Amino acid sequence: MPDHFHWLVKLESCSLRKLMRETKSLITREVNFSTNRNGPLWQQGYHDRALRREEDLVRLARYVVAKPLRVGLVERLGDYPLWDAIWV
Protein backbone atom coordinates (compact mmCIF):
# COMPACT_ATOMS: atom_id res chain seq x y z
CA MET A 1 0.00 0.00 0.00
CA PRO A 2 1.47 3.33 -0.94
CA ASP A 3 0.18 5.17 2.13
CA HIS A 4 0.29 2.61 4.94
CA PHE A 5 1.44 -0.88 5.81
CA HIS A 6 0.08 -3.96 7.51
CA TRP A 7 2.15 -6.10 9.81
CA LEU A 8 1.54 -9.23 11.76
CA VAL A 9 4.14 -9.29 14.51
CA LYS A 10 4.73 -11.23 17.68
CA LEU A 11 6.13 -8.95 20.34
CA GLU A 12 8.80 -10.59 22.43
CA SER A 13 10.87 -8.20 24.54
CA CYS A 14 9.84 -4.99 22.81
CA SER A 15 6.72 -2.90 23.27
CA LEU A 16 4.56 -2.08 20.27
CA ARG A 17 5.09 1.61 20.95
CA LYS A 18 8.88 1.23 20.79
CA LEU A 19 8.70 -0.98 17.68
CA MET A 20 6.55 1.56 15.83
CA ARG A 21 8.70 4.53 16.90
CA GLU A 22 11.90 2.84 15.75
CA THR A 23 10.35 1.55 12.51
CA LYS A 24 8.94 4.94 11.55
CA SER A 25 12.23 6.63 12.39
CA LEU A 26 14.32 4.22 10.33
CA ILE A 27 12.00 4.38 7.32
CA THR A 28 11.83 8.18 7.49
CA ARG A 29 15.64 8.47 7.53
CA GLU A 30 15.97 6.12 4.55
CA VAL A 31 13.22 7.78 2.51
CA ASN A 32 14.52 11.26 3.26
CA PHE A 33 18.05 10.25 2.31
CA SER A 34 17.09 8.44 -0.89
CA THR A 35 14.72 11.19 -2.08
CA ASN A 36 16.81 14.14 -0.89
CA ARG A 37 14.04 15.46 1.32
CA ASN A 38 13.73 16.48 4.97
CA GLY A 39 10.98 16.37 7.54
CA PRO A 40 8.40 13.99 8.87
CA LEU A 41 6.97 11.21 6.75
CA TRP A 42 4.36 9.61 9.02
CA GLN A 43 1.30 10.94 10.74
CA GLN A 44 1.34 10.56 14.50
CA GLY A 45 0.04 7.38 16.06
CA TYR A 46 -0.91 4.04 14.59
CA HIS A 47 -3.81 1.61 14.62
CA ASP A 48 -3.32 -1.79 16.17
CA ARG A 49 -5.41 -4.85 16.72
CA ALA A 50 -4.53 -7.51 19.25
CA LEU A 51 -4.99 -11.11 18.25
CA ARG A 52 -7.28 -12.59 20.88
CA ARG A 53 -7.56 -16.20 19.74
CA GLU A 54 -4.92 -18.40 18.16
CA GLU A 55 -7.42 -19.69 15.59
CA ASP A 56 -7.76 -16.14 14.20
CA LEU A 57 -4.08 -16.10 13.24
CA VAL A 58 -4.45 -17.79 9.82
CA ARG A 59 -7.46 -15.64 8.88
CA LEU A 60 -5.64 -12.44 9.81
CA ALA A 61 -2.41 -13.51 8.09
CA ARG A 62 -4.33 -14.24 4.88
CA TYR A 63 -5.97 -10.83 5.07
CA VAL A 64 -2.59 -9.08 5.43
CA VAL A 65 -0.87 -11.10 2.68
CA ALA A 66 -3.77 -10.70 0.21
CA LYS A 67 -4.18 -6.94 0.74
CA PRO A 68 -1.83 -5.93 -2.15
CA LEU A 69 -3.92 -8.11 -4.48
CA ARG A 70 -7.22 -6.65 -3.25
CA VAL A 71 -6.03 -3.06 -3.78
CA GLY A 72 -4.54 -3.77 -7.21
CA LEU A 73 -0.83 -3.46 -6.42
CA VAL A 74 -0.19 -6.91 -7.90
CA GLU A 75 -2.09 -8.99 -10.44
CA ARG A 76 -1.52 -12.33 -8.72
CA LEU A 77 -0.93 -13.23 -5.12
CA GLY A 78 2.41 -14.83 -6.08
CA ASP A 79 3.63 -11.45 -7.38
CA TYR A 80 3.73 -10.10 -3.84
CA PRO A 81 7.15 -10.88 -2.34
CA LEU A 82 5.77 -12.02 1.04
CA TRP A 83 2.82 -14.05 -0.21
CA ASP A 84 4.21 -17.31 1.17
CA ALA A 85 4.22 -16.31 4.83
CA ILE A 86 4.28 -19.31 7.15
CA TRP A 87 0.69 -18.71 8.28
CA VAL A 88 -0.80 -18.87 4.80
Greatest Cα pair distance in the chain: 45
- Tell me how far apart the alpha carbons of residues 13 and 25 are, in angstroms, rounded to a whole number: 19
pLDDT of residue 56 exceeding 60:
yes
Task: Give pLDDT, residue 38.
Answer: 95
User: Among residues of the chain, what percentage have pLDDT more than 90?
Assistant: 32
Q: Where are the domains of the chain?
A: 14-48, 50-88
- Tell me how far apart the alpha carbons of residues 35 and 49 are, in angstroms, rounded to a whole number: 32
Which pTM does this prediction carry?
0.72
Beta strands in 1-88, from DSSP E residues, in sequence order: none
Chain segment 8-33, per-residue pLDDT in tens: 888 889 899 999 999 999 999 999 99
pLDDT of residue 88 exceeding 70:
no
